[in-house]
């Protein structure tokens, strides 16, 4: 991080706030992205748009499965599908917001959505197959988010934190679904 005129005197951290204020006025049209942003912004935006597509596909799959769930044990499973769909939509919204913060545009164009998504949209016939397909999708999301977190590292802590928070929820989803299969 390139904070102007900082010094550490015997454990006392000092910042030249006047220099920071001056720098803040430069490139103001870039919003939250300052010259201290260390990640490759275009790559991060691509990854976030892929994650966004993945979340949208997951919302659609969970919604379909919620409406199509049938059988003796369908009610609690359908309720779980509905809850997961809501949480996946929240993830999509947070990802879209971060994309905008980084000066990008969320790609919500339905054409190519499944191509950009890491997970697949599988309709599935039986309740058990629906659970399995959603569990597969969650496992894909888990590995994808972990890879993104590893790639970003400490170059963009805000995006990393967002991805880690989403990853934690995806792990909970996988655990919930695995419990249904046990």
Over the stretch 150-173, which tens digit does the pLDDT of each residue have? 999 999 999 999 999 999 999 999
- Per-residue pLDDT band for 2 (boundaries 50, 70, 90) equals very low
Binding residues: 55, 91, 138, 170, 173
Distance CA 118, CA 129 (A): 19
**Has residue 76 got a pLDDT over 80?**
yes
| Structural domain span for residue 79 | 37-180
* Structure confidence at residue 142 (pLDDT): 98
* Structure confidence at residue 84 (pLDDT): 98
Whether 78 is covered by a domain: the verdict is: yes
pLDDT tens, position by position, 107-147: 999 999 999 999 999 999 999 999 999 999 999 999 999 99
Whether 4 is covered by a domain: the verdict is: no
pLDDT tens, position by position, 8-67: 556 788 888 888 888 888 877 777 788 888 999 999 999 999 999 999 999 999 999 999
* Structure confidence at residue 7 (pLDDT): 52
Whether 23 is covered by a domain: the verdict is: no
**Has residue 4 got a pLDDT over 80?**
no
Q: 95 near 106, Cβ under 8 Å?
A: yes
Domain count across the chain:
1
Q: Are strands 12-14 and 7-9 parallel, antiparallel or unpaired?
A: antiparallel
pTM of full prediction above 0.75: yes
Binding residues for Fe cation: 55, 91, 138, 170, 173
Across 86-107, average pLDDT: 98
Whether 166 is covered by a domain: the verdict is: yes
Phi first, then psi: give them for residue 111, nearest 5 degrees.
Answer: -70, 120
Whether 129 is covered by a domain: the verdict is: yes
* Structure confidence at residue 20 (pLDDT): 82
CATH number, position 119: 1.20.1260.10
* Structure confidence at residue 1 (pLDDT): 42
Whether 121 is covered by a domain: the verdict is: yes
Whether 14 is covered by a domain: the verdict is: no
Q: 22 near 88, Cβ under 8 Å?
A: no
The burial of 120, by beta-carbon neighbours within 10 Å (0-12 exposed, 13-18 middle, 19 or more buried), is given as middle
């Amino acid at each position: 991080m390139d904070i102007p005129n900082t010094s550490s005197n015997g454990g006392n951290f000092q910042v030249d706030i006047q220099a920071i204020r001056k720098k803040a006025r430069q490139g103001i049209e870039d919003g939250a992205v300052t010259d201290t942003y260390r990640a490759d912004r275009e790559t991060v935006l691509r990854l976030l748009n892929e994650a966004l597509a993945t979340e949208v596909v997951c919302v659609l799959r969970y919604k379909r499965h919620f409406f199509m769930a049938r059988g003796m044990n369908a009610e609690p499973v359908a309720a779980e599908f509905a809850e997961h769909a809501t949480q996946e939509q929240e993830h999509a919204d947070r990802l879209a917001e971060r994309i905008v913060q980084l000066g990008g545009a969320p790609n919500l164009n339905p054409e190519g959505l499944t191509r950009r998504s890491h997970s697949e949209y599988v309709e599935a016939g039986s309740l058990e197959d629906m659970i399995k397909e959603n569990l597969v999708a969650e496992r894909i999301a888990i590995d994808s988010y972990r890879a993104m977190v590893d790639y970003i590292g400490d170059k963009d802590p805000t995006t990393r934190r967002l991805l880690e928070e989403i990853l934690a929820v995806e792990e909970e989803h996988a655990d919930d679904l695995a419990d249904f299969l046990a």
